[in-house]
A and B are shown apart, each in its own frame.
Chain A
Amino acid sequence: MKIFGLSLLAASAILLGPMSRPGAQGPPARPTAEQNFLWYCIQCHGPRGDGKGVNNTAKLPVSPRNLTDGRDMAQFSDEDMTRTINRGGGASDLSPIMPPWGNTLSAEDIRDLVAHVRKLCQCQFDPKAKERFLREQGKMPAQSQALDPMKETSR
């Protein structure tokens, strides 16, 4: 009886095994951020993310960004990165050569990609870096030239 019970248990485990395994019967697993990076982003940013992709030719108006440069990448918040990947470089006042991927990748895929880029640059968002970058680009007036609102009103 004990043997019968054991064999019944084993048989049910074999039968139910594949069904009870999580994800075995469900939809195919979502690709990881690295897999998506190595299919889509690799074209311009290169397999290591250093901007040395195949499409980085001398005649491009801008070079693809080196995603491993932590000092440079610290200027972008997660929100900036998500917007750039979703809607392209033009949406973040960067080069429109970076195309929009919002229709191609899901919101979860893009969230994972942002985390992957953070891993590549080994950096966190630094507001001071953003300020420095904007000043270098001439998109933000230097502090000495900034208008004093009080001066304006006193005139």
Chain B
Amino acid sequence: MSLFRLLLSRTGAAPLGGTALLALLGASSPAWSTERGRDIFFARGCAQCHTIQGPEAKVPVTERHKLKGPTLWYAGSKFRPGYLGRWLAKPQAFRGVRWGTMDKGETSHPALPPAEAKEVASFIEGLKDPEMPTGVVPGWGDKLPRQVLRRARILFQKEQPCYACHMVHIRKTVYRQAVEVGGFTGPHLIDAGLRLRPDFVVALLKSPERYSPNGRMPRYGNQAFTPLSEQDLIALAAYIATLK
């Protein structure tokens, strides 16, 4: 009750009403914030384009253009904490083509007021895949062991050139500034280190049928046609985590 009074006195008392009070309480309690995030998610119509139930069903290639937006059922396992809150307040397209098409351009995404963005992000970050292994990629940060970095660069730039579809900024010794290279159809990896959890990158490469059954990305993994070893996948994920 004393907390209640304190809040009332700090917010300038009763005229502000229940909404402001709820928002304040929501900000102070993560569980409440998640609940409010869920309400905003549905009230704002996010569910019209994004599904939150998983795993996603495989759709025939002729029907895939009807999918309106990426699934979010494992978003908490995919995105780094805090990224979605910032992104939802100021969304920027990940691809250089409009969603579901091959037309150059960007698909616009509605922006949320910062307070709401934080709450919706709190809800989405709670959507995790309990079966996704964590702790697979060691916490090297930006300082990768020399051999890992070398192997990852060879894979990323030479053997399986990811940049054919994913735009990146590659720093070469001959240029003072990073060079922007890459295609438009895959989500860019320019700030992938701020965006993606490295464990998710390994999981996606190993089980694309679970995380991206309807995407255009070729399937990698430890199979006959693309013998990428576990070490290769870890090196790639750790390298992608350094792209900022």
Contact = CB atoms under 8 A, between A and B. Distances in A.
B97 interface: yes
Interface in A14-53: 28, 31, 35-36, 38-40, 42-44, 47, 53
B165 A96 contact: no
Contact of B181 (A35, A59, A100): A59
Chain A facing B: main interface SS: loop
Contact of A103 (B160, B164, B218): B218
Q: Tell me what chain B mostly uses at the interface: helix, strand, loop, or mixed.
A: loop
Interface in B46-90: 60-62, 64
Contact of B216 (A43, A57, A59, A87): A43
Contacts of A42: 102
Contact of B183 (A36, A40, A44): A44
Nearest to B214: A39
B32 interface: no
Contact of B185 (A28, A54, A103): A54
A96 B104 CA distance: 24
A55 B184 contact: yes
B198 interface: no
A54 to B, nearest CB: 5
A91 to B, nearest CB: 9
Contacts of B219: 103-104
Contacts of A36: 61
B236 to A, nearest CB: 14
Given A47-B102, A54-B183, A35 B62 contact: yes
A97 interface: yes
A102 B227 CA distance: 12
A101 interface: yes
B60 A103 contact: no
Contacts of A60: 164, 181, 183
Given A88-B160, A96-B158, 9 more contacts: A31-B60, A38-B61, A39-B61, A55-B185, A88-B225, A99-B164, A102-B224, A103-B218, A103-B223
29 contacts: A31-B61, A35-B61, A36-B61, A40-B61, A42-B102, A43-B185, A43-B216, A44-B164, A54-B183, A54-B184, A55-B164, A55-B165, A57-B181, A57-B183, A59-B180, A59-B181, A60-B164, A87-B225, A97-B161, A99-B160, A99-B218, A100-B226, A102-B224, A103-B218, A103-B221, A103-B224, A103-B225, A103-B226, A104-B219
